Amino acid sequence: MGTYALSGTSGVMAEKNLTSSTQFLLTAFTDCPEQALPLFLLFLLIYLITLLGNAGMVILIRVDGRLHTPMYFLLSHLSFMDICYSSVTVPQMLAVLLERGAALSYTRCAAQFFLFTFFGSIDCYLLAIMAYDRYVAVCRPLLYVTVMTQKARLGFVAAAYGAGLFSASVRTVSAFTLSFCGTNEIDFIFCDLPPLLKLTCGDSYTQQVVIIVFAIFVIPACMAAILVSYLFIIVAIMRIPSAGGRAKTFSTCASHLTAVSLFFGTLIFMYLRDNSGHSLQEDRVVAVFYTTVIPMLNPLIYSLRNQEVKEALRKVLE
């Protein structure tokens, strides 16, 4: 894993100029060693639940014919992304807790940043596509079968993967062509943008503009697509004469709306705000939430509030 205890790291080591340094030092949670083991066991349990829940969701969708619909096709990819998304960061966080710190080479830090951005961007695009799927199902029900064909579904998912690859590539190149100087210690759980920007020095205006532009392209653009879709959905629901019909129609969107609120709420707090006046400790808490807790909650959200998934699970268990 390339980890070691950081308690004996010398001041000279911490103050190397990172333009010539070959590694970063992750030091999150090292200031409270007595909490390391409880946190390690807690996050390990959450990670195992995440793997089990999301893998179970993918398998359930594949084996049950009633779930072979566009919405569940997209959900299976979302669950797969959640597995990849958390697997990029949680094992590293566990290593930091177990070894009281972790050393990452410059290349490995860049690779982790790329993969995290790649899977996170795809998550955003998939949630936006799922909102469009709900829009067509509620507002254009007679056209749903002709619009959300298998070819269209595959095209949407391929576009999400391609856009995620492009976005992650540009942001990674922009982030890791910055000049780093001063300490090489990152008080964080993985190589993410906010702590890396705190290590920069010199003229980094161009790179930071590119990073911000692509952040706007991913998060607010996806949110705008989701908000517009749900605006039309709400208008369509309000036109349904019976209260029971409105409740039944809205229930088909409730799980997705809950997942969207949790995911984008934390991303907005983390990436679309003024970093001045905010500590890395706050960022660390938010990062733990959206890298460990949200991927664990998504299968629960889509199963506990979805009768079709509960019936499919009951059938498999029987």
Q: Are strands 185-186 and 102-105 parallel, antiparallel or unpaired?
A: unpaired
The CATH H-level (homologous superfamily) assignment of domain 23-309 is Rhodopsin 7-helix transmembrane proteins (1.20.1070.10)
Q: Locate 156 and state its tokens.
A: 């949407």
Helices 150-175, 70-99: axis angle to 10 degrees equals 30
Q: What is the DSSP pairing of strand 23-26 with strand 185-186?
A: parallel
The domain limits of the chain are: 23-309
Instruction: Decide if 74 contacts 157 (C-beta within 8 A).
Output: yes
Q: Name the pTM for this structure.
A: 0.84
Q: In angstroms, what CA-CA distances link 123 with 32, 85, 207, 284?
A: 33, 9, 24, 20
Task: Check: CB of residue 194 under 8 Å from CB of residue 276.
Answer: no
Query: How far, rounded to the nearest angstrom, does the alpha carbon of residue 132 sit from its chain's CA centroid?
Result: 20
Exposed (0-12), middle (13-18) or buried (19+): which is 298, by Cβ within 10 Å?
buried
CA-to-CA distance for 160 and 154, rounded, in angstroms?
10
Contact 304, 57 (CB under 8 A): no
Total residue length of the chain: 318
* Distant-in-sequence, close-in-space partners of 4: CB < 8 Å, separation ≥ 6: 99, 101, 102, 103
- Per residue of the chain (318 residues), what is the pLDDT tens digit? 433 333 334 343 444 444 445 678 887 777 777 778 888 899 999 999 999 999 999 999 998 888 889 999 999 999 999 999 899 989 988 888 888 777 888 888 889 999 999 999 999 999 999 999 999 999 998 999 999 999 999 999 999 999 999 989 988 888 888 777 767 777 777 888 777 877 777 666 666 677 777 767 788 889 899 999 999 999 998 888 888 888 888 877 888 888 888 888 887 776 666 555 556 677 777 778 888 888 998 888 887 767 778 787 788 777
